Amino acid sequence: MVTYLFLAIFICLMGYMVYFQVLRSEDFINSSYNARQDSFQTRITRGEILSADGQVLAQTNTDAEGNETRYYPYSNLFSHVVGYTSKGKSGIESAMNFNLLRSHSFVVERAVNEIQNEKSMGDTVVTTLDTSLQQTAYQALGTYQGAVIVLEPSTGKILAMVSRPDFDPNTLETNWDIITADEAGESVLLNRATQGLYPPGSTFKIFTTLEYMRENPDYGSFAFQCNGSASVDNTTIHCYGNSVHGAEDLKTAFANSCNSAYATIGVGLDKSSFAKLCEQMLFNKTISAGGIETTKSRFTLNADSSNGLTMQTAIGQGETLVTPLHMALIASAVANDGVLMKPYVVDHTQSSEGELVKQFEPTVYSEEFLSKEEASALQEYMQYVVTNGTGQKLAGASYTAYGKTGSAEFSSDKSQSHSWFVGYAHREDKPDIALAVIAEGAGTGSTFAVPAAKQIFDAYYQ
Amino acid sequence: MVNLIVELSKYIMIILFAGYTYECFSVLGRKSKEKQARIFARQTALMYLLHLNAYVVIFAVTQEFALILFYLAQVILITVVLNCYQIFYPKASRLVINNMCMLLLIGFIILTRLNETKAVKQFIIVTISIIITLLIPMLIRKLKFFHKLTWLYAAIGIVMLGIVAIAGATSYGAKISFTIAGITIQPSEFIKILFVFFIAARFSASVKMKDLILTTLVAALHVLILVVSKDLGGALIFFVVYLVMLYVATRKLSYFLGGILCGSAASVVAYKLFSHVRVRVIAWRDPLSVIDNEGYQICQSLFAIGTGGFFGLGLYQGMPGKIPVVEQDFVFAAISEEMGIMFALCLILVCASCFLMFLNIAMQIKNLFYKLVALGLGTVYGFQCFLTIGGVTKFIPSTGVTLPLVSYGGSSVLSTLIIFGIIQGLYILREDEENEYGSKTGKRKKQSTGKKKKKATSFDTEFEKLGE
Question: How distant is the Cα of A7 from the closest Cα of chain B, in angstroms?
Answer: 7
Q: Is pLDDT above 60 for B423? A: yes
Residue A337 counted as domain residue: yes
Residue B454: the pLDDT is 40
Mean pLDDT rounded to a whole number for chain A: 91
B247–A contact, CB cutoff 8 A? yes
pLDDT above 80 (res A150): yes
pLDDT tens for residues A60-86?
Answer: 998 888 888 999 999 999 999 999 988
List of residues 6+ apart from B88 with CB closer than 8 A = B134, B138
pLDDT of residue B14: 95
CA distance A15 to chain B (A): 9
- A293 domain-assigned: yes
**pLDDT at B336 exceeding the cut of 50:** yes
Tell me the shortest Cα–Cα distance from B58 to chain A, in angstroms. 18
Nearest-neighbour CA in chain A from B3: distance (Å): 6
Say which of A17, A24, A25 has its CB closest to residue B344.
Answer: A17
Report yes or no: A20 at the B interface, CB cutoff 8 Å.
yes
Q: Confidence class of residue B461 from pLDDT cuts 50, 70 and 90?
A: very low
| Chain A CB within 8 Å of residue B379 CB | yes
pLDDT given for residue A114 in this prediction: 67
Probe site for chain A from B395, B398, B457, B458 (most A CB atoms < 10 A): B395
Q: What is the pLDDT of residue B447?
A: 44
Provide the CATH number for the domain around residue A433.
3.40.710.10
Per residue in B190-223, pLDDT tens?
Answer: 999 999 999 999 998 887 888 888 889 999 999 9
Measured CA to CA, the distance from residue B193 to residue B377 in angstroms comes to: 7
Distance from CA of B318 to the nearest CA of A (A): 7
Q: Does A29 touch chain B (CB under 8 A)?
A: yes
pLDDT at residue B172, rounded to an integer: 60
- Weakest-pLDDT range from A263-267, A329-333, B14-18, B464-468: B464-468
> Residue B201 in contact with residue B247, Cβ under 8 Å?
no
Asked if residue A33 has pLDDT above 80, the reply is no
Look at residue B443 in the predicted model and tell me its pLDDT: 44
Check CB contact under 8 Å for A2 and B7: no
Whether chain B has a CB inside 8 Å of the CB on A14: the answer is yes
Residue A6 domain-assigned (yes or no)? no
Instruction: Determine, for residues B4 and A115 on separate chains, whether the beta-carbon distance falls below 8 Å.
Output: yes
The pLDDT-based confidence of B439 (bands split at 50, 70, 90) is: low
When the pLDDT of each residue in chain B is averaged and rounded to a whole number, the result is 86
Interface of B with A in 284-303 (CB under 8 A): 288, 291, 299, 302-303
**Residue B174, pLDDT score:** 64
Is B453's pLDDT higher than 60? Answer: no
Would you place residue A112 in the very low, low, confident or very high pLDDT band (cuts 50, 70, 90)?
confident
Please tell me if residue B88 touches chain A, with a CB cutoff of 8 Å.
no
Task: Look at residue B33 and tell me whether its pLDDT is greater than 80.
Answer: yes
Q: Flag whether A246 is in a domain.
A: yes
Which has the minimum average pLDDT: A248-262, B247-261, B369-383? B247-261
Q: Does B236 touch chain A (CB under 8 A)?
A: no
Contact A310, A331 (CB under 8 A): no
Q: Chains A and B: how many Cβ contacts under 8 Å? A: 109
A270, pLDDT greater than 80: yes
Residue A374: is its pLDDT beyond 90? yes
Percent of chain B scored above 90 by pLDDT? 47
Residues in chain B within 8 Å Cβ distance of A112? none
| DSSP character at residue A390 | T
Could you say which of B303, B306, B348 has the minimum Cβ distance to residue A10? B348
Contact B393 A34 (CB under 8 A): no
Domain assignment present for residue A98? The answer is no
Taking CB atoms and an 8 Å cutoff, what residues of chain A touch B379?
2, 6
Which residues, including other chains, have CB under 8 Å from residue A297's CB and lie 6 or more apart? A197, A282, A283, A284, A285, A320, A321, A322, A323, A326
Position B294 pLDDT exceeds 70? yes
Total number of domains constituting chain A: 1
Q: What pLDDT does residue B468 have?
A: 30
**B253: nearest CA in chain A?**
A1
**Which H or E run contains A379?**
helix A372-388
Using the Cβ of A114 and the Cβ atoms of chain B, whether some distance falls under 8 Å is answered with yes
Neighbour count for residue A66 (Cβ, 10 Å)? 8
Neighbouring-strand partners of residue B179:
B184
> What residues of chain B, 313 to 372, have a C-beta less than 8 Å from chain A?
313, 317-319, 322, 336, 341, 344-345, 348-349, 351-352, 355-356, 359-360, 363
Lowest mean pLDDT among A97-106, A152-161, A393-402: A97-106
The H-or-E segment that residue A19 falls in is helix A2-19
| Interface subset of B 13-52, CB within 8 angstroms of A | none
Confidence check: pLDDT of B145 > 90:
no
pTM higher than the cut 0.80? no
Residue A207 lies in a domain: yes
Residue range B364-393: mean pLDDT, rounded: 93
Question: Is a pLDDT exceeding 90 seen at residue B401?
Answer: no
CB contact under 8 A, B383 and A3: no
Q: In Å, how far from its chain's centre is CA A138?
A: 15
Kindly report, residue by residue over A300-358, the tens digit of the pLDDT: 998 888 999 999 999 998 899 999 999 999 999 999 999 999 999 999 999 988 889 88
Of B322, B360, B395, the CB nearest to A13: B395
CB-based contact, A39 to chain B, within 8 Å = yes
Q: Is the CB of B79 inside 8 Å of chain A's CB atoms?
A: no
Name the more confident of B375 and A22.
Answer: B375
> Does position B442 have pLDDT exceeding 60, yes or no?
no
Please answer yes or no on whether A14 and B355 come within 8 Å at the CB atom.
no
Closest alpha carbon within chain B to A14: B345
* Domain assignment of residue A4, yes or no: no
The verdict on A117 touching B (C-beta cutoff 8 Å) is yes
What pLDDT score was predicted for residue A88? 81
A38 part of a folded domain: no
Spatial separation of the C-alpha atoms in residues B142 and A8, rounded to whole Å: 37
At residue B169, the pLDDT reads 64
User: Which of A254-268, A384-398, B27-41, B115-129 is predicted with the least confidence, judged by mean pLDDT?
Assistant: B27-41
Give yes or no for residue A233 having a pLDDT over 50: yes
CA atoms within 13 A of residue B327's CA, in its CB half-sphere: 19
What mean pLDDT is predicted for residues B411-438? 86
Alpha carbon distance B16, B44 (integer Å): 11
Nearest CA-CA partner of B234 in B188, B166, B170? B188
Neighbours of A45 (CB within 10 A): 21
**Band of residue B446 on the pLDDT scale cut at 50, 70, 90:** very low
**What does the pLDDT average to over A101-115?**
74
B468/chain A closest Cα distance in angstroms: 28
Pick from A338, A342, A332, A452: which is nearest to A402 by CA?
A332
Expressed as residue numbers, the domain containing A196 is 150-166+183-345+362-461
pLDDT at B390 over 80: yes
Check whether A363 has a pLDDT greater than 90.
Answer: yes
Q: Who among B7, B355, B389 is closest to A6 (CB)?
A: B355
Pick from A17-31, B127-141, B346-360: least confident: A17-31
Each residue's pLDDT tens digit, A96-105: 988 898 887 7
